[in-house]
């Protein structure tokens, strides 16, 4: 593995004075994984486009100045995680700023893209180190790594208690737009009114669902074993996605792909037919609430959902059956979200399960359609974007494949226990080949 040398490390504060005070967080923010979400964006030099303001490719001063301007609108990211007088976690809008690192690597972009999989080693190379994710900690860390070929890696670590992936995409859109010369005031401003997801008054609360996803598993998950994983990035072409969806009538792209992954994981792990396997996911509730949340809501507006089946049911039926079972993971409406918020009001959120899932289970996250893979800072969109780290074994991201000429292609980013990954690759490749031939 190539090396990375840190050149500079400094703090970037908002370019203008920003509101002070504290921001109350909703139960969904408090229930989110207490930690940082590390992501990476690989950029290939684009000789056909003039650099912003005549600067060189991914010039640190342009990236840093545009970050300072973006933090004016997204000022909570320049603050610190704090606690109120009762010990409840909140955001303290201190304006202290975000960490900004520049580095140089002996990697060439093509070599890095061949070697890269989300793992601790890559995260440590390409994303700044972060502190313990508890108050009082900073909320945003940025690293720009210059490669020997002229390419660049942008690495981010954003605290999950502040926002979900859609919020992160909103911030990145704004920052990239400023960097490429768009007017800062042209961006849609974020909304920090987390009271929109407050629990209902005690007399009106209605916990109408069981919410097993927020309760510990009957057998505690071995966090050490769950963190020992192998990861892979597998491209599914537009044609393959189309063939798969034809086998899953009425299913979304995400459900169709996840159904096939679920089947192949169960087969690769050789689970007994009677073993329970549970498919977890996270569902964005912005548009499902009544009234809907404004799309610019900046916070955690996602809820955990799941569906259980026997391994035999998942593996012995056509993939369309697994897709229909997966419908239960993605079909919840606003009443489900309100029930969850009310449920969380009555539990100690510090004791929610966060360390992993059992071997037979899978957690699938959709980044399909999000603008993360289009982040254009003035030098073109990334050749690749994705998570820098998988949190534990059994995690799956489905996202658009970044890069030119890949419109409609998807990337499946997966972590499994090391002994199951080779067989999963084999089974998945065979199933995809079979789809193309049929």
DSSP state of 297: B
On whether residue 155 sits in a domain, the answer given is: yes
Shared domain check, 318 and 238: yes
Per-residue pLDDT at 359: 85
Residues 253 and 141 in one domain: no
Instruction: State residue 331's pLDDT score.
Output: 79
| Residue 108 phi, psi (nearest 5) | -100, 150
HSE-CB for 168 with a 13 A CA cutoff = 27
In this structure, the answer to whether residues 159 and 244 fall within a common structural domain is: no
Residue after which a domain boundary falls, among 149, 166, 197: 197
Q: Tell me if residue 160 is catalytic.
A: yes
Q: Are residues 169 and 66 in the same domain?
A: yes
Which parts of 264-370 are beta strand (E)? 276-284, 302-310, 362-367
Number of CB atoms found within 10 A of residue 85's CB: 5
Query: Residue 146: beta bridge partners?
Result: 104, 152
Q: Is residue 84 part of a domain?
A: yes
Q: What is the count of structural domains for the chain?
A: 2
DSSP E strand boundaries for 299-383: 302-310, 362-367
Q: Is residue 380 part of a domain?
A: yes
Residues 122 and 185 in one domain: yes
Q: Are both 322 and 184 inside the same structural domain?
A: no
Last residue of a domain, one of 143, 167, 197: 197
Residue at 292 is within a domain: yes
What are the DSSP calls for 158-180, one per residue? EETTT--HHHHHHHHHHHHHHHT
Residues 404 and 293 reside in one and the same domain? yes
Q: Do residue 250 and residue 370 come from a single domain? A: yes
In angstroms and rounded to an integer, the radius of gyration of the C-alpha atoms of the chain is 22
Specify whether 284 is catalytic: no
Report yes or no on 427 lying in a domain: yes
Q: Are residues 329 and 421 in the same domain?
A: yes
Predicted pLDDT of residue 358: 82
Q: Residue 11 has which token pair?
A: 């703090």
Kindly state whether residues 225 and 367 are assigned to the same domain. yes
In this prediction, residue 369 carries a pLDDT of 87
Identified catalytic residue from 110, 124, 222, 376: 376
SS3 assignment, position 191: strand
Cβ atoms of 303 and 282 closer than 8 Å: yes
- 419 lies in the same domain as 352: yes
| Torsion angle of C-alpha atoms 284, 288, 291, 294, degrees rounded to 10 | 30
**Domain-terminating residue out of 164, 197, 230:** 197
| Residue in the block written with tokens 């926002």 | 163
Backbone angles phi, psi at 299, to 5 degrees: 175, -165
Burial 99-121 (b: 16+ CB within 10 A, else e): bbbbbebebebeebbeebbbbee
pTM of the model: 0.93
Q: What is the pLDDT along the chain (438 residues), one digit of tens a residue?
A: 678 999 999 999 999 999 999 999 999 999 998 899 999 999 998 644 454 545 589 999 999 999 999 999 999 999 999 999 999 999 999 999 999 999 999 999 999 999 999 999 999 999 999 999 999 999 999 999 999 989 999 999 999 999 999 999 999 999 999 998 876 556 789 999 999 999 988 877 788 888 888 887 665 555 545 578 999 999 999 999 999 999 999 899 999 999 999 999 999 999 999 999 999 999 999 999 989 999 899 999 999 999 999 999 999 999 999 999 888 777 788 898 999 999 999 888 887 776 677 888 999 999 998 888 889 999 989 999 999 999 899 999 999 987 655 678 999 999 999 999 999 999 999 999 887 666
Q: Is residue 428 part of a domain?
A: yes
- 55 and 120 housed in the same domain: yes
Distance CA 90, CA 139 (A): 12
Cα–Cα distance between 141 and 127 in angstroms, integer?
8
Q: What residues make up the domain containing 43? A: 4-197
Q: Is 102 contained in some domain?
A: yes
| Mutual angle of helices 421-437 and 238-246, in 10-degree steps | 80
Q: Tell me, yes or no, whether 29 lies in a domain.
A: yes
Q: Which CATH number does the domain housing residue 151 bear? A: 3.30.559.10
From the list 92, 159, 160, 361, the catalytic residue is 160
């Amino acid at each position: 593995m190539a090396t990375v040398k840190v050149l500079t490390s400094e703090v970037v504060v908002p370019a203008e004075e920003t509101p002070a005070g504290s921001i109350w967080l909703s139960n969904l923010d408090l229930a989110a994984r207490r930690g940082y979400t590390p992501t990476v964006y690989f950029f290939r030099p684009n000789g056909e486009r003039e650099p912003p303001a005549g600067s060189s490719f991914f010039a640190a001063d342009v990236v840093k100045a545009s970050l300072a301007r973006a933090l004016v609108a997204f000022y909570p990211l320049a603050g610190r995680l704090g606690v109120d007088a009762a010990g409840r976690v909140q955001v303290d809008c201190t304006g202290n700023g975000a960490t900004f690192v520049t580095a140089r690597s002996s990697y060439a972009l093509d070599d890095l893209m061949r070697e890269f999989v989300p793992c601790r080693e890559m995260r440590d190379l390409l994303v700044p180190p972060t502190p313990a994710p508890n108050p009082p900690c900073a909320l945003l860390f940025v690293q720009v790594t210059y490669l020997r070929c002229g390419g660049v890696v942008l690495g981010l670590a954003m605290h999950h208690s502040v926002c979900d992936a859609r919020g992160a995409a909103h911030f990145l859109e704004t920052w990239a737009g400023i960097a490429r010369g768009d007017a800062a005031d042209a961006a849609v401003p974020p909304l920090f009114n987390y009271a929109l997801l407050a629990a209902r008054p005690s007399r009106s609360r209605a916990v109408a669902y069981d919410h097993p996803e927020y309760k510990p598993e009957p057998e505690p998950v071995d966090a050490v074993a769950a963190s020992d994983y192998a990861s892979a990035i597998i491209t599914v072409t537009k044609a393959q996605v189309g063939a798969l969806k034809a086998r899953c009538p009425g299913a979304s792209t995400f459900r169709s792909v996840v159904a096939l992954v679920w089947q192949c994981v169960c087969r690769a792990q050789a689970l007994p037919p009677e073993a329970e396997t549970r498919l977890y996911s996270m569902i964005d509730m912005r548009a499902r609430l009544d009234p809907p949340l404004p799309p610019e809501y900046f916070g955690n507006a996602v809820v955990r959902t799941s569906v259980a089946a026997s391994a035999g049911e998942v593996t012995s039926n056509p993939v369309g059956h697994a897709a229909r079972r997966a419908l239960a993971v993605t079909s919840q409406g606003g009443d489900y979200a309100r029930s969850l918020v009310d449920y969380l009001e009555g539990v100690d959120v510090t004791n929610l399960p966060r360390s992993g899932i059992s071997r037979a289970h899978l957690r699938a996250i959709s980044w399909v359609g999000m603008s993360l893979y289009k982040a254009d800072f003035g030098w073109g969109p990334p050749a690749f974007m994705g998570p820098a780290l998988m949190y534990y074994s059994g995690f799956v991201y489905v996202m658009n494949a970044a890069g030119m000429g890949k419109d409609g292609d998807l990337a499946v980013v997966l972590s499994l226990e090391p002994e199951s990954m080779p067989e999963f690759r084999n089974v998945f490749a065979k199933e995809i080949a079979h789809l193309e031939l049929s």
